[in-house]
Structure 1
Amino acid sequence: MTTEPIQPKPPWLRRRLPSGPQYERIRSLIKNQCLSTVCQEAMCPNQFECFGQGTATFMLLGDRCSRNCRFCAVGHGPQSPPDPDEPARVAEAVETMGLSYCVLTSVTRDDLADGGAGHFAAAIRAIRERNPHTLIEVLIPDFQGNHQALQTVVEARPEVLNHNLETVVRLYPTVRPQADYQQSLAVLQRAKTMASSMVTKCGIMVGLGETEVELGQLFADLTRAGCDILTIGQYLQPSRAHLEVVRYLPPSEFALLEQQALAMGLKAVASAPFVRSSYQAEALYRRVLHAVPSR
């Protein structure tokens, strides 16, 4: 663990923190419903903005992850059994918030036989039953390569299935030592094979030491896997116990990465310092609908 000060952020990464009645309403709703959000647990820099706009990304299966990725602020340690009432509470929160588009994610649960896939499917069904017009995006773990677990989620028919590569293949042993690049890529490819009309999505971070050539290879890999949407954001060090930032990319470089990814064949790309997996998710989904002819 380093004792050096965290690298100071450049001017383009400084922002005022919104507040107000809408932000407090969402924060109170989440607390009162005993729900978790990745916005809070992962210390997302867009938390205040999204809460202020009346949106949030719900995190299923508790707030403790069975893995300990060196970039992630989510806690790890002993997990509790899945809460069978959680899908209903999430569905109620979606209704109360009046969401037209809902994003569900989870901690990684390698301790569960299906990795939590059945819980994802139950949450999708509960939301659909109570909010039939709400669009649903799921950001899933790799389920340790379990095909049946992935099939369980796909058969629940979310509009978007998201799985993050997070970084380039060379950096996996440092950034994601308990994950595998090819296995994560296979999640996206298999999901598209199982349901060709379902939109697939992936997110990565930059600023960890990746090269332009490595990013180009990642874009090519995603295109071959049939991925539709890509989000690219700046890695921000949550604490001194986490990986240090190697470089802060200026906004102009994010714009170039977006152009490069689109040129490689991705249908919709969001690339900017504060972009995260679920940031402006509905807008990206609708961009794909306009880009792809009706099937």
Structure 2
Amino acid sequence: MNRPLGSRPDWLKVRAPAGKRVEEVSEALARHGLRTVCREARCPNVGECWGAGTATVILLGDVCTRGCAFCSVTAGVPAPPDPAEPDRVANAAAELSWRHVVVTSVTRDDLPDGGAAHFAAVVRALRREAPGVTVELLVPDFAGNVDALRCVVDAAPDILAHNVETVPRLYPVVRKGAGYDRSLDLLRRAASMRPSLLLKSGIMVGFGETELEVVSVFRDLFAAGCRSITVGQYLPPSKDHLPLSEYVSPERFDLLAEAARGIGFDRVLSGPLVRSSYYQSGT
């Protein structure tokens, strides 16, 4: 049974990250002029991930051309891409001895390729400066631009992720400017372009979706070629964002994980504190 809305349940309460490693990573990121989802989204797993040698870097500025109701990123007119950013990401990864790096971005519908060439440049820089790191790209939908997707796939990341975020029924409310079918098409095309590429997606719960709807999304993602999935609790960044419908219990997350594995997913992370860029080796 789910907890009624009110105070945050104990399973969502975590201590603020601290310690020498967190301080080292924070200092290095600031020195290289990099932003991370870990900090800006106040991710509860930041201490664990930074300590394990991974982080999620945000490319292409701090302004998004869309404005999803669940997201804290400012919507507006972004600045031009910084051509030095790929090298800064790679240099930070080498300095911090990252084992795995997740690279994502704001949505850039203002760019002809949606930022695809920038993603590809980051992969090349990481291969050059930090050859031991595995690279996961968490990409936007590139407004359905197939050539942009091919540019990213040809860069040969180890993992390509694209989140559907919610169930189709809730897209008009949750994902402004996005399309469920467009996201599935991106994943299908990526699977066709490079069959060996590990494809990943993520969904949040707590918007008012049903379990049947979530499991239906699992089936759609598996059919599109995804073999890795994350399921986490939506938490509004502020009172001005889309309100929370419910706190989903840990037991229900376990049931969703069981359903995903039953469909055939190889890697499943499902829990209240799971985020789409959360990485756990061997899962």
Q: TM-score, normalised by structure 1?
A: 0.92
Offset at 1:173? 0.4
Match of 1:247 in 2: 246
Per the alignment, do residues 156 and 134 of structure 1 end up closer, same or farther by CA in structure 2, a change over 3 Å counting? Answer: same
1:137 aligns with 2:124: no
1:59 aligns with 2:58: yes
Offset at 1:55? 2.9
Match of 1:221 in 2: 220
Tell me, in whole angstroms, the C-alpha distance in 2 between the residues paired with 1:280 and 1:155.
23
Structure 2 unaligned segments of length 5 or more: list them. none
Offset at 1:49? 3.6
Moved more, 58-67 or 6-15: 6-15
Tell me if the contact between 2:34 and 2:58 (Cα under 8 Å) persists in the aligned partners: yes
Match of 1:209 in 2: 208
- What per-residue deviation string (whole Å, max 9, x for no partner) do you get for residues 111-142 of structure 1? 00000000000000000011222111100000
Moved more, 70-79 or 103-112: 70-79
Letter in 1 for 2:171: Y
- What per-residue deviation string (whole Å, max 9, x for no partner) do you get for residues 205-262 of structure 1? 0011000111121011011101010000000111001111111011111010000011
Tell me if the contact between 1:258 and 1:270 (Cα under 8 Å) persists in the aligned partners: yes
1:153 aligns with 2:156: no
Tell me if the contact between 2:55 and 2:100 (Cα under 8 Å) persists in the aligned partners: no
Match of 2:36 in 1: 37
Tell me, in whole angstroms, the C-alpha distance in 2 between the residues paired with 1:106 and 1:7.
32
Tell me, in whole angstroms, the C-alpha distance in 2 between the residues paired with 1:92 and 1:112.
25
Tell me, in whole angstroms, the C-alpha distance in 2 between the residues paired with 1:196 and 1:52.
32
Offset at 1:267? 1.5
Match of 2:111 in 1: 112
1:28 aligns with 2:59: no
- What per-residue deviation string (whole Å, max 9, x for no partner) do you get for residues 160-212 of structure 1? 00000000000000000210000011111110010000000000100110001
Tell me if the contact between 1:125 and 1:156 (Cα under 8 Å) persists in the aligned partners: yes
Letter in 1 for 2:256: L
Letter in 2 for 1:50: C
Letter in 1 for 2:217: L
Match of 1:162 in 2: 161
Tell me, in whole angstroms, the C-alpha distance in 2 between the residues paired with 1:206 and 1:175.
11
Match of 2:18 in 1: 19
Tell me, in whole angstroms, the C-alpha distance in 2 between the residues paired with 1:75 and 1:41.
12
How many residue pairs match? The answer is 279
Letter in 2 for 1:104: V
Percent identity over the alignment is: 50
Match of 1:172 in 2: 171
1:233 aligns with 2:214: no
1:126 aligns with 2:125: yes
Q: TM-score, normalised by structure 2?
A: 0.95
Offset at 1:14? 0.9
Match of 1:186 in 2: 185
Q: SS in structure 1 opposite 2:54? A: coil
Tell me if the contact between 1:139 and 1:161 (Cα under 8 Å) persists in the aligned partners: yes
- What per-residue deviation string (whole Å, max 9, x for no partner) do you get for residues 30-77 of structure 1? 111111111222232223443344432111111111110000112222
Q: SS in structure 1 opposite 2:204? A: strand
Tell me, in whole angstroms, the C-alpha distance in 1 between the residues paired with 2:181 and 2:7.
34
- Cα RMSD, aligned residues only: 1.3
Match of 1:291 in 2: none
Tell me, in whole angstroms, the C-alpha distance in 1 between the residues paired with 2:258 and 2:249.
15
